[in-house]
Amino acid sequence: MQSPLRGSTVPPSRRIPSVPPPIASPSPSGRGWRGLLSRLVAVAALVLAAALVGPAPTAHAAVGLTRVTDFGANPGQLNMYVYRPASLPDRPAVVFALHGCSQNAQLYADNSGLPELADRHKFLVVFAETTNANNMSKCFNWFEPADTRRGQGEAASIGQMAAHTVSAYGADARRTYVTGLSAGGAMTSVMLATYPDVFQAGAVVAGLPYGCANDLVAAGRCMSPGTDLTPAQWAQRVRDAHPSWSGPWPRVAVWHGEKDTTVAPRNADELRDQWTALHGLSQKPSRTSLIGPNSTRHEEYAAADGSVAVEVNRVPDIGHATPVDPGSGPQQCGSTGTVNFQDSLCSSHWIAQFFGLTDPVEESGLPAPAGLTVSDPTDTTLRLSWDPVDGAAGYVVHRDGAPLATVDGTSHTDTGLTAGSSHTYAVAARDADGRTGQLSGVVTARTTGGATACWTATNYAHVQAGRATTGGGYTYAKGSGQNMGLYNIFVTHTLKESPAGYFTLADGTCT
């Protein structure tokens, strides 16, 4: 890589290094390059040690995972693995699981206990996996704007996995959840903030609030000693992640070891503040109890209808880890073969219970509507129609994996869309008691318009115009997340916009 002072670009890959290049200015203390570089490396070591794997796991049969390679455009370059129990009901729930640093999907599946819970309660588990190509220590990039915005990078890849799981595996779009450890816990916060229309609830294990950091240095401060904002400030960062969202916010469970020296336990309080504020609740718990064999402190924050919108679980005697409790009992699960899975209580059991996966699902028994088609597209509307279902009192239309509207007839016109935008649709019949039946197959449709636009400018100008974002000193095309090189006034690129709001590098090729 050439000197940043010369304004040259980086290699074409969009992926970022784990440690950013030196900043072309002296350190604030005046001690120069060496002092600054040493501090950046120290911070990098802190961030990338978020969930280092310890000794080799205790010998046990590996969980059988299925690799899925065609789930979407995958702008974040993630891997997708599915755990499917031997038997499943129609439209099973699905839990997305995000591993910690230096881990992978297989290790997380083998030790977290989630597959055991999936076998007991009959739901799918999708393990998203990052790689060394994305981050030197295989951390999800929870602190990089190019990966933490709706429609961009790693966040977009996980969103595409969710849509694919509904269409390819028949998963219930109304029962889609996410959980993760450490960097995966922080990425869980990202998914709840950026895709509240997809994930109904999440569980953050040893993680951090959304919007805590936009670069590596800030990430180190967030992890320890932690960043203190008001509940209103934390809530606004989530609202800014999806400004047009007006639906209900996901329910959130927080899990944190009281002896965690990697991600300070105060982050559990900041997460609580963020999500109770979004739900309009007090930061004082409605109920407090002790759960599990180790007397974990369990705090519930109840909504007006009595349901638990937010819960915080403070686990004694463990550090930076997923709490597990090996055994065959009804509340046991997991393995303690590595340092990041510590013997305590089976957090996956309590997380599944919080998600409602241990409860029977009340369904109407109505079949899925057939014949779903989309017609008459305009720049801002799409018209849907489907065949009637005997016994249906109405229908629920889903767009992009979330309920959109309840209608009486067998057609619906979706309005207010963006020109040149693509959407997925499905529909379910609804009986007289308001219970919905099976979800139909998914169809994809695109609005008209959205003609290609080309923009040639410096990286600085692209960012100022909203066509690109920054992170770690680099510039990334909004939408595609492609690395455009250093954020300065010297590097110039042409960006192609198609569809609206989605930009790709098009130097010398944009027409």
Active site residues: 182
| CA proximity to 158, closest of 227, 96, 224 | 96
DSSP string, 434-484: S-EEEEPPPEEEE-S----EEEEEEHHHHHHTTSEEEETTEEEETBT--EE
Are 332 and 325 contacting, i.e. CB atoms less than 8 angstroms apart?
yes
Q: Which two tokens stand for residue 485?
A: 């090189």
- Bond preceding residue 26 cis, omega within 30 of 0: no
Sorted by sequence, the CB contacts under 8 Å of residue 124 that are 6+ apart come out as 82, 83, 84, 85, 88, 92, 93, 94, 95, 118, 165, 169, 171
**Distance separating alpha carbons of residues 234 and 342, to the nearest angstrom:** 30
Are 48 and 139 contacting, i.e. CB atoms less than 8 angstroms apart?
yes
Are 152 and 75 contacting, i.e. CB atoms less than 8 angstroms apart?
yes
Degrees, nearest 5: CA angle 143-145-146? 115
b/e per residue 305-327 (b: at least 16 CB within 10 A): eeebbbbbbbbeebbbbbbbbbe
Question: From residue 86, how far is each of 56, 115, 122 by CA, in Å?
Answer: 28, 11, 9
DSSP string, 302-359: E-TTS-EEEEEEEETT--SSEEEB-SSSTT-B---SSTTEEES--HHHHHHHHHTTTS
**Using CA atoms in the order 289, 291, 297, 303, what is the torsion angle rounded to 10 degrees?**
-50
Q: Which of left, alpha, beta for 205 (phi over 0: left; psi -120 to 50: alpha)?
A: beta
Beta bridge partners of 28: none
Residue type, 495: L
> How many helices (H) and strands (E) are present in the chain, helices listed first?
10, 26
Are 114 and 203 contacting, i.e. CB atoms less than 8 angstroms apart?
no
On the CB side of 249, CA atoms within 13 Å amount to 24
Strands (E), 143-198: 176-181
Q: How far apart are the two ends of the chain, measured CA to CA in Å?
A: 30
- Bond preceding residue 231 cis, omega within 30 of 0: no
**Distance separating alpha carbons of residues 203 and 213, to the nearest angstrom:** 20
